Each structure stands twice: as structure tokens, then as C-alpha cells.
Amino acid sequence: MTHILVSEVGPRDGLQSIDRVMDLEAKKRWIAAEAAAGVQEIEVGSFVPPKLLPQMADTAEMVRFAKGIDGLTVVALVPNAKGAQRAVDAGVDGMSLPFSMSETHSRKNLRKDHAEMVVEIREAAAIAREGGAHFAVGLATAFGCTLEGAVAEDQVVRLAEQAVEAGAQELGLSDTTGYADPAQVRRLVRRVKAAVGDDMLTTLHLHNTRGLGLANVVAGLEEGITTFDASLGGLGGCPFAPGASGNIVTEDLVLMLNSMGLDTGIDLDKLLQVRAIVEEALPGEPLYGFTPDAGPMLDYKKRIAR
Amino acid sequence: MTHILVSEVGPRDGLQSIDRVMDLEAKKRWIAAEAAAGVQEIEVGSFVPPKLLPQMADTAEMVRFAKGIDGLTVVALVPNAKGAQRAVDAGVDGMSLPFSMSETHSRKNLRKDHAEMVVEIREAAAIAREGGAHFAVGLATAFGCTLEGAVAEDQVVRLAEQAVEAGAQELGLSDTTGYADPAQVRRLVRRVKAAVGDDMLTTLHLHNTRGLGLANVVAGLEEGITTFDASLGGLGGCPFAPGASGNIVTEDLVLMLNSMGLDTGIDLDKLLQVRAIVEEALPGEPLYGFTPDAGPMLDYKKRIAR
């Protein structure tokens, strides 16, 4: 049975995109409940300046709490070397640094061009290595950009190589803007894997802006992707990419993967119950997903026992 | 460039599942506008007894109107031989008869068991052949049933063979209940094709009940499926399968296929404008889809020119 890692990014990507600050205790209940449902990796926050994103101000506290949960891999987003140091200090298992393939988006999002980003990645990678934390680079806007439009695949491949050379231990392709289509996913995953090695590109971070999120997961599975980011209730998006909304929904992703006979290790019933925690803490905040309404198929248990 | 046929079933599957009867003139405007957007096949109605489904009472009139639209393939659903005769009399290009793989669903939906259905298919096929109309059989509830749960794949294969033997010129697999997952789609398409011949199974009719609709399309494409049913705005479902709601959304499907570089012949901008006709004729009726809100990607025209 193929193991697929579902990495919950709601506490980071979801919460950073809404205006309200979620109560720390509620956040803790959320991730504890997801871990109890079998989720093995959670991105608990982002080490960005609290002035920029007050929603993420308690990330160090979240890391410390999450590290107490048995068997959970605790990751955080870091925008730069300074963030990497804070992440190491907090004790993360791993960190992910977003490297935007669209230079316009990179300048706007992190105020750095590509060359400056590679310098930052090198420095952050060294800090992570020294701190014993796993260091991943997420190739953001890899499938297109709401500011630039198309992003050349040659450019993604070239920058992926530079990220690895600068110290990335693992790469992800991020559809920050909800632009990816399944043919493009297959093509780009194949090209990047060919350039940096099969085991180096493990992760897809997909948004469901145009409803193609799970279709793109299928394309990724075909190309050997083994980790998918998702957000409970589809909470979130990218505040710096106008029009881009909503990670793929963890509940729907887990239903699909489990039904397909893939091993996520996640109990769907327990996962569905976690929504209540988020709903209670963020009343009125829209949550997405089809499975929460429809429920699993009658023969769901038979499917997953296969 | 691979041609994929998007078959619009909203005027049948969509409208039969809502309580209101859509005005005939609005229906005509709807299908004329979709044909003008490049849609090449439309299921314009169902030859069921008008007492059962008053929404479909004007199907013969719809067929006559649709036949006047240049280049459009006009199909209708028929539940039995009597319906097939009415379809021939009205002048359809083709008809599709649903054959439910779940015997419980078959009895409930068409009041016939499997053996009786095969008799009906044989009779309807003969009528269609004599009338010069194409005759397809849709293997309904092929991926599972809200009444029975799992439907054995061996049973689907066996009944597919019987449908062909009884005169079906073409088969479709229908996920009437929104149960399909992508691995199951690949497996079942492959098995049925192996049994009845590669060219005999052309069509997938998918619902989006659990959000997996487009993911299942990707699986179907991988297995050589060339026709996908869809409903504008995701209108519809199966009134006899409790909990089953909503065909896949034509707009999202076309965005995906076009972006993938597949040739649907459909102009997405024009297609998106058709929604206004349905919205005006059925005020307050929920329409679905992500593309109508998000719009195509900035580089969409570049993608389809590929």
C-alpha cells in the first residue's frame, strides 16, 4: 500500500489569509485533534514579522506545543534566514521557504529578486542544517502568476536547480494562484524531477481556485508525488496573490486518497469532526469541501480495507 | 490535438432534478447559446412519461428545435422501448438508455430487474436501429449505489457484455451517485474495455457529490475516455438516488480540458455567458462551479493556443 503524506497547512496558509487572529488555545485544540485523527505533519505557522502577519505571532508557541504531540512532524514556513533562525530556536522538525518562480511576485511578496532569494536560501539552509532541521524550498507560483501570467517552465527548472545547489533538501511545486492544470502538473513535475533527481521533488501545494485541485492531485500521483499540502475546510489562500483563494480541502483529499486504496493513515470520521473546532473559533468564516456535506460513500469502509 | 467531446446534459439531468419546469423558450435559448459557444452534443431531454417528470414533457419539441441547429448532435434519454420509439419519432440523432448496475436501484428507478432490462434494451436497440438513431447504454450506478453500497466490478463487466450483445452501439459508465474515485475509474474503465472492446466504452457520466468529479475525469482521460457528460452550472442530479447531487460543471470541465491543450471546440468565454440564460429562467436556483467566479487564468489564451 503506497503511503501518501497529507500535510495540513491550514494553521499557516489558512489562517494567514484571513483578517482575524485565531485564539492560541483554539489553534492548539485544532492541531491536537488533527494529529489524533492521524495527520502526521502540520505546518503550524510562519516565522514572518508579527507586524506583517499578526495571525502568525504565536508561531513559536505553536511549535513548542506541537512538538509535545507524539509522532507529529512539526513544520513552519520561513520567509528568510532570520525566520529560519527563529524556527530553529523554536525547535521545528522542518521548515519550508517559499521561492517565487515569478520574479514580480517574488519582489512583491518577499521584496527580493531571484538572485537575492538564492542568497537567502543558502543562508537559511545553513542555519537549518546547523540546527538539525529539515529544509525544504517551495517553488511558489510555479504554474503561473496573477501578476505575470505564464511562468516559463525552463525558468522553474533552472531555479529548482539553483535552490538545490543552495542547500534545499527537498522541493515542492506550489500552485499559489490556482493556475495549474493536470497536463501541466505532469509535465512540470517530470521536468523538475529530471533536473534535480526523482527523490528531491516530493510535494505539491495546490489551490482549488478553479476547481481543479483534486484533478491536479491525480496528475501528481501519476508522476510519483508523495506529499500533498491541504487545508482543513479549504481555509486560506495567498494574501499577496490577488484572486488566489483556498488550498485544496483536507477532508476531500483524504476521502479521495483513502478511497483509492492509498495509505494516508488518517481517520476520515475523526478528521471531519475537527471542523467544529475551527467553526467555533472563527464563527462565520466560510469553510469549503464536499465530503463534509455528502459524507463518505456507503461502501467507504470496504474501499479502505482493500 | 486530441478531440474530447463535452456532452451537455443539463437540459436533461439538470432540469429533471429540480421541481420547477423551465420555460420551453428559455430551454431553446439555452441550448442555442451553448451550441453557439461550440458545444457539439446536447442531451435535450428525456422520453419518460410526462406524468412522472413534467419537466421533460416538451422533449419532442426540444428535439425538433435542436435538430435545426447546424452541426449539433441531438440526443435524449430513453427509459425503455416505448421511449425509444418516441425518440425516433421526434427525430433524435442518438439516444441513451440507463441500465442500472445496482439491481435495487434498477427496480426502484425503472421498475425492472436486470434480466427485464436486457429484454428492454434489445427492443429499444432494434427500434433505434430501424429509426436510424445511434443507440447508447449508460451503465448507471456503476461505481456504487446509495441503496446497495458497493456494486461488484464483475457484475458491471458482465452486464456491459449483455448490453452490447443486446444491441448497444456504445457504452458509458455513469457515476449516478457520486461514488467514483480515480483509481476505481481507471480500474473499471480498463476492465469494461477489455471485455467489450476499446472503442465500445467512450463515455463517462460523472457527478461531483464528493468533489472528485474532475479528478475522475483525469483518470478517465488516462484510460482513453473521449466523451464526458457535464451540466452547465452543475445543475442537477438523480432524483431517485438520495444524496446524489450535481453533475460535474461544464464550465470547469471545459476550462480544464482546454487548458490541458485538449481540443473541445468550445469557447469558454461564450460558455460562461450562457449561465445568465439559466439564471434568468430559474431565479434562485443554485448554480455551481469555480471558473465562473475566478475566471480563466491570465495566460489562458496562451495555454489553448499551444
DSSP letters for B63-100: HHHHHTSTT-EEEEE-SSHHHHHHHHHHT-SEEEEEEE
SS3 letters across A174-227: ECCCCCCCHHHHHHHHHHHHHHHCCCCEEEEECECCCCCHHHHHHHHHHCCCCE
Burial of B110 (0-12, 13-18, 19+ CB in 10 A): buried
A255–B184 C-beta distance less than 8 A: no
CA B269/CA B266 separation, integer angstroms: 9
User: Given the DSSP bridges, would you call strands A41-46 and A5-8 parallel, antiparallel or unpaired?
Assistant: parallel
Grouped pLDDT means (10 residues each) for chain A, 306 residues? 96 92 97 98 97 95 98 98 98 98 92 97 98 98 95 98 98 95 98 97 95 97 98 72 71 97 98 97 90 92 87
- CA dist A244 and B205 (Å) reads 30
Residues in chain A within 8 Å Cβ distance of B179: 297, 299
Count structural domains, chain A: 1
Containing structural domain, residue A268: 5-304
Per-residue CA distances from A69 to A42, A66, A133, B58 (Å):
11, 5, 17, 63
Confidence of residue B236 (pLDDT cuts 50, 70, 90): confident
- The β-bridge partners of A172 are A138, A203
Reduced to 3 DSSP states, what percent helix, strand and coil does chain A have, rounded to the nearest 5? Answer: 45, 15, 35
CB contact under 8 A, B184 and A145: no
Question: Residues 177..206 of B with a Cβ closer than 8 Å to A: which?
Answer: 177-179, 181-184
Q: Does A208 touch chain B (CB under 8 A)?
A: yes
DSSP A63-110: HHHHHTSTT-EEEEE-SSHHHHHHHHHHT-SEEEEEEESSHHHHHHHH
pLDDT of residue A101: 98
Q: What are phi and psi of A282, to 5 degrees?
A: -130, 65
Note whether A211 contacts B: Cβ–Cβ < 8 A: yes
Residue B181 reports pLDDT greater than 70: yes
Q: Is A210 in Cβ contact with B294 (below 8 Å)?
A: yes
- CA separation for the pair B288, B248 (Å, rounded): 9
pLDDT at B17: 86
**B209 contacts A256? CB cut-off 8 A:** no
**CATH assignment of the domain containing B93:** 3.20.20.70
Cell of B87: 425518440
Q: Given CB atoms, is B241 within the 8 Å cutoff of chain A?
A: no
Which residue is associated with the grid cell 504554474? A143
- B212–A299 CB contact, under 8 Å: no
Active site residues of B: 238
Collect all residues of chain A within an 8 Å Cβ-Cβ radius of residue B189.
Answer: none
**Which residue bears the cell 425492472?**
B112
Taking alpha carbons only, the member of B306, B194, B199 closest to residue B260 is B306
B153 burial class (0-12, 13-18, 19+ CB within 10 angstroms)? middle
Catalytic residues of A: 238
User: Is B217 within 8 Å of B5 (Cβ atoms)?
Assistant: no
Contact A210 B261 (CB under 8 A): no
Could you tell me the pLDDT band of residue B243, with boundaries at 50, 70 and 90? Answer: very low
Determine the average pLDDT of the residues in B6-11: 98
The pLDDT tens digits for B42-63 are 999 999 999 999 999 999 999 9
Q: Which of A187, A287, A179 is nearest to A230 (CA)?
A: A287
pLDDT at A205 (0 to 100): 97
Q: Is B233 exposed, middle or buried (0-12, 13-18, 19+ CB in 10 A)?
A: buried
- Residue B88 C-alpha cell reads as 425516433
Cα separation of B267 and B39, whole Å? 9
- Interatomic CA distance for residues B170 and B138, integer angstroms: 9
- How far are the Cα atoms of A113, A123, A149, B74, B269 from residue A103, in angstroms, in the given order? 6, 20, 11, 49, 29
Interface touch B218/A297, C-beta < 8 Å: no
A209–B214 C-beta distance less than 8 A = no
Longest dimension (CA), chain B: 53
Instruction: Look up residue B291 and give its three cell numbers.
Output: 471558473
Residue A286, pLDDT score = 84
pLDDT > 60? residue B237: no
User: What distance in Å separates the CA atoms of residue B180 and residue B205, rounded to the nearest whole number?
Assistant: 11
Residue A152 in contact with residue A143, Cβ under 8 Å? Answer: no
Interface test with A, best of B143, B254, B260 (most A CBs within 10 A): B260
pLDDT tens-digit readout, B78-134: 999 999 999 999 999 999 999 999 999 999 988 999 999 999 999 999 999 999 999
* Residue B141 to residue B70: CA distance in whole angstroms: 34
Average the pLDDT over B211-232 and give the result. 97
Distance from CA of B217 to the nearest CA of A (A): 8
- pLDDT at position B240: 45
Give me the amino acid identity at B57.
A
The single residue listed with the C-alpha cell 461502501 is: A299
Q: What are the residues whose beta carbons fall under 8 Å from the beta carbon of A287, sequence distance 6 or more?
A: A232, A233, A234, A235, A275, A278, A279
The pLDDT value recorded for residue B121 is 98
The alpha carbon of residue A144 is apart from the nearest alpha carbon of chain B, in Å, by: 8
* Residues of A (264-303) whose Cβ lies below 8 Å from B: 289-291, 294-299, 302-303
A-B contacts (CB, under 8 Å): 130
Q: Which regions of chain B does DSSP assign to beta strands (E)?
A: 5-8, 41-46, 73-77, 94-100, 134-140, 170-174, 201-205, 227-230
The whole-angstrom distance between residue B115's C-alpha and the CA centroid of its chain comes to 24
The residue to which cell 487548458 is assigned: B259
Residues of chain A neighbouring B145 (CB-CB closer than 8 A): 298
A residues 41-80 lying closer than 8 A (beta carbon) to B: none
Q: Dig out the grid coordinates for B20 from the structure.
A: 420547477
- First CA to last CA across chain A, in angstroms? 9
ipTM associated with this complex: 0.96
Report whether A164 contacts A232 (CB < 8 A): no
CB neighbours of residue A91 within 10 Å: 15
Q: Calculate mean pLDDT across residues B157-177.
A: 97
